[in-house]
Structure 1
């Protein structure tokens, strides 16, 4: 049976952020993930995990000015220094929280920057980040994002992500495979997971359309969960969906779709 981690950015969002750890534990989750830890004290976050018997499985590198619409800076030629500073900061938090994986959102292609120039910056940045994180015992991920939700996002397909892995050439860099984004951009979920599971370091889920709970849309999650088990994935699956009501009211999918 798959292991599900509550994404605290999306789930229990009717509560203040620091109260979501307790809510996740009470709802039966053993692990959590969320976008960014940087607005909170490391010791406070570590205590919330410890006090509620939770492990943190993922957070993201700093991604620029999120509130202003930025979604990462990994493809920005003029912000390499800021990117590298973000790697150092991510290592500090991941180490304090015993978080084994950090995801890099590569961002939107900047105006006036060619795809070729952005690719060079991406590869150089990821080589640096992968080595620094490897030295700290932390795995680096990159995530394709659909261009319907985030127009202009640089990385949007699995094959593109894999080609970047090939060029970077680090064993410490893997793909974060978000089922929702993959469904919107390319489909072929089962075959893609089967073919590339050894290069996928983390999985996330939501249904489509609407990014709701599994079972609310077109994706055959009962089949997909069994398939993920059958191909040997034993990592966490992050629940990064938008609850239709309260989070707890919508959690029936866990038992209904995993029998």
Structure 2
């Protein structure tokens, strides 16, 4: 089972980045995939022009792929930022302005998973103040997601690459999920289990799966070390995904790894082409 029994999508913000944004959905389709996800593509603009949104929507539709996940505005990503929603002032305001834009775009493409990165700690600001702001903004995003039938994802990163990001363990991420659900009463906040980030934090991955699979709304993978394709590092990703499946996880597995020194289209040799097209949920 393992890889052959998963529903994979390709993250077009880390794979196929050698191509212009509007060419990436077709490139994923040409590689045999039928589903994609994205970080917020316009890092400098939480509210891009309608023409830019329409062009991306058209590129996804023409390629014949499904958009299964989308990040809210998170500042400069990739780059030094790790989210905006807990950052007081302009960044928090930009996040809130972005929420309805993301929800509308996601709804137009049938996307039902929206990821909200928490944001870095800020010098001179009480962490408790940032946490209160984060909860307020996450609840705001959860309500917007609920209006379109989507889940809100909360992601943990790793302390080595994101030393100022406060959610660097599975318990921390799940704790925020629980707080959001308690605040809204909607129950649509879910944990984004990124096996690469958890492994970078030294977590016991089988235990994390046992404890948190039921609260997981999305999974992302990359091997470790190196954040490359499965098989380039030492993580037993096939076994871990099989454990998730047996634990009841039936959602998407996002391929969020670096292709290395080769075109992205050549970075999928670990996965037979017949296993790339998404299967229906079991």
TM-score (norm 1): 0.92
Q: Distance in 2 between matches of 1:67 and 1:47?
A: 24
Alignment of 1:222-241 (within 5 A): 222-241=238-257
Unaligned runs of 5+ in 2: 43-47, 276-282
Of 73, 96, 101 in structure 1, the residue corresponding to residue 113 of structure 2 is 101
Of 222, 227, 235 in structure 2, the residue corresponding to residue 206 of structure 1 is 222
> 1:157, 1:186 within 8 Å by CA — same for their partners in 2?
no
Provide the residue aligned with 2:263 in structure 1. Answer: 246
Alignment pair present for 1:164 and 2:176: yes
Q: Distance in 2 between matches of 1:9 and 1:92?
A: 20
Alignment of 1:24-103 (within 5 A): 24-38=28-42, 41-66=52-77, 69-79=80-90, 80-103=92-115
Q: Cα distance, 1:129 vs. partner?
A: 1.4
> 1:42, 1:97 within 8 Å by CA — same for their partners in 2?
no
> Could you give the per-residue CA deviations for residues 100-143 of structure 1, whole angstroms, max 9, x where no partner exists?
11100111111112222222111111112111221232211111
Q: Cα distance, 1:68 vs. partner?
A: 6.8
> 2:154, 2:176 within 8 Å by CA — same for their partners in 1?
no
Unaligned runs of 5+ in 1: none
Secondary structure at 1:108's aligned position in 2? coil
Q: 1:68 to 1:209 in 2, by over 3 A?
A: closer
Secondary structure at 1:77's aligned position in 2? coil
Alignment of 1:188-199 (within 5 A): 188-199=204-215
Q: Cα distance, 1:65 vs. partner?
A: 4.3
> Could you give the per-residue CA deviations for residues 74-109 of structure 1, whole angstroms, max 9, x where no partner exists?
112334433321212211221222211110011111
Q: Distance in 2 between matches of 1:166 and 1:21?
A: 34
> 1:22, 1:52 within 8 Å by CA — same for their partners in 2?
yes
> 2:214, 2:248 within 8 Å by CA — same for their partners in 1?
no
Q: Distance in 2 between matches of 1:231 and 1:173?
A: 19
Secondary structure at 2:8's aligned position in 1? strand
Provide the residue aligned with 1:174 in structure 2. Answer: 190
Q: Distance in 2 between matches of 1:255 and 1:223?
A: 17
> 1:37, 1:93 within 8 Å by CA — same for their partners in 2?
no
TM-score (norm 2): 0.85
